[in-house]
Structure 1
Amino acid sequence: MSDKHELRSAARARRKGLAEGDPMAASRAAGHADALPQGEVVALYRAMGSELDTDALSVALEAAGRRLCLPVVLERDAPMIFRAWSPGEPLEMDAAGCPAPLPLAEVLDPDLIITPLLAFDASGGRLGQGGGYYDRTFAARPEVIRIGFSYAGQAVEVMSLEAHDMGLHGVLTEAGYRAF
C-alpha cells in the first residue's frame, strides 16, 4: 500500500508542475473533443487542485450537442450517481466534498465518463486519487466508456493494477485523443 501512496505523491507533484507550467493545456485538450467516442450523455467532473480543468471541454461538448452531467457522491462506499448539469449552473458540495449539481437536477445514466487521474499508462491503466469512487462506479457500470482527461505528461511507463482497478478506453490530453 505504501508503494501506491508513494506513487500517488509523486504523481500529484508531477501533475502540479504540469499545471503550473502549462495553464492553457485544458483549452488545447478541449480542442480535440470531437475525437472522443460517441455518447449522447457525457459525465464530466469539476476540477479540484491541479486536476485538468473541464470548463472549456464542457463548452465544446455542449456545443456539439452532447448532454452533460456531473458525478455526485451520496454515500462514501457506494457508486456515484450522475445529475444533469450545464456550464454556469449552481453547484453544492457532495458527501465527498466535491462540487456537484443540486438535488433537483435530473439523474442521468452517462454513455461516456470523463475521469480525472493522477497517472495513466499505454494499456489504459489509471491511477486515481485513492478514494475508490470512480472504481466503484465503473464496476457498477462496466458498459460505460471510460475516458481519462489529463496532461500528456501524466503518462507513465507501466502501472501495476489491482483486481478492482478498471482500465480506461482512452485518454484526452492537450496532445490529442488516444484510444486504448
Structure 2
Amino acid sequence: MTNPRIARDTPPQEPEQRPAAQLKNTLRADLLARRKALDPKGKRISDELIGRRLLDWCTSHAVTSLGVYHPIRGEPDLLFAYNALAAHGVHLALPVVVGKNAPLEFRRWLPGDPLEKDALGTLVPAVTSPLMQPQALLVPCVGYNAAQCRLGYGGGFYDRTLAASQRPMAVGVCYAFGLVEFTGESHDMSLDLVLTDAV
C-alpha cells in the first residue's frame, strides 16, 4: 500500500527550462562577465571604433532620427558619437519602458539634457520630453549570432518593439567577442546589422 505522506512530502519538481533559453542564460552570464573584465583603455578604443562606424553608417543611410541608449553594465559608451550626430542635426531619443509586456517608447533627448530614474532604475528623459518614432534604433547587445539575432538581458523589450508592423531599422551594437552560437526563438527579432569593434 502506498503511503500518501511520502508523496505529500516530496517537493514539487520545477519545470525544466527550454534548452534554447538555458543556453542563452549561460551565454549571457559568460559574456557579461567578459564585458565586466574589459581593460578600461582597450574598452575606450573599442568604443571609439564602434562610434566611428555608427557615424559612417548614419551618414551613408541619411539618418535623420535615431533611438540611442544610455550605457549600463559595461555597454559601449558612444556619447562622442551622439554629440557628433546631434551637431549634424540628427534627432536623438532614448528608450522608456512603459509596461512589462509593452514595446518601448522613445523620448526626444539631446546630450546634456537632464535624465531621471524610472521605476527600474534606468536613466530616461523627463516625462515632459516629446515622444518620437525614430527612423532607426541603436540596439545594445550582450551577444548576437550569425543570423543577427540579439542576445539581450532577457526582458524582451526590444523584440516587442521590433515586432511592430512598421518597424524602424535596427542596428545592433556589440563587442566582437559577443558573436556566439545560439538558435533564435520564435519571439527573437533579427537586427538589420551589427556594429562591432572588429578590425
TM-score (norm 2): 0.80
Letter in 2 for 1:95: A
CA, structure 1 residues 39+174, in 2 after alignment: closer, same or farther (shift >3 Å)? same
Q: Cα distance, 1:112 vs. partner?
A: 0.4
Identify the structure with the greater helix proportion: 2
After superposition, the Cα gap between the structure-2 partners of 1:18 and 1:160, relative to the gap in structure 1 and judged at 3 Å, is farther
Alpha carbons of structure 1 residues 164 and 60: separation in structure 2 relative to 1, 3 Å: same
1:165 is the counterpart of 2:188:
yes
Letter in 2 for 1:31: R
Q: Which residue identity lines up with residue 190 of structure 2 in the other structure?
A: G
Paired residues of 1:76 and 1:95 also in contact (CA < 8 A):
no
User: Where do 5+ consecutive residues of structure 1 fail to align?
Assistant: none
TM-score norm. by structure 1 comes to 0.88
Residue identity matched to 1:160: T
2:25 aligned residue: 5
Letter in 1 for 2:28: R
* Aligned sequence identity (%): 36
2:154 is equivalent to residue 122 of structure 1: no
One of 153, 167, 170 as aligned partner of 2:177: 153
Contact 2:23 2:182 in 1 (8 A): no
State the structure with bigger RCO (CA 8 A, min sep 6), 1 or 2. Answer: 1
CA 60–132 in structure 1, closer or farther in 2 if over 3 Å, else same: same
Count, aligned residues: 175
Greater radius of gyration (CA):
2
**What letter corresponds to residue 36 of structure 2 in structure 1?**
K
Match of 1:57 in 2: 81
Distance in structure 1 (CA, Å) of the matches to 2:183 and 2:39? 25
Distance in 1, matches of 2:173 and 2:39, equals 13
Q: Which residue of 2 aligns with 1:110?
A: 134
For structure 2, the residue ranges without an aligned partner over 5 or more in a row are: 1-20
Superposed counterparts of 1:18-167, under 5 Å: 18=38, 20=40, 22-24=42-44, 25-32=46-53, 33-36=55-58, 37-140=61-164, 142-156=166-180, 158-167=181-190
With 125-134 and 141-150 compared, the bigger mean Cα shift is at 141-150
The residue type paired with residue 122 of structure 2 is: C
How far has the Cα of 1:133 moved from its partner? 1.1
Kept in 1: contact 2:67–2:93 (CA 8 A): yes
Aligned-pair CA distance for 1:65 = 2.3
CA distance in 1, matches of 2:160, 2:38: 28
State the superposition RMSD in angstroms.
1.8
Quick one: distance in 1 between partners of 2:107 and 2:47? 23
CA distance in 2, matches of 1:136, 1:151: 23
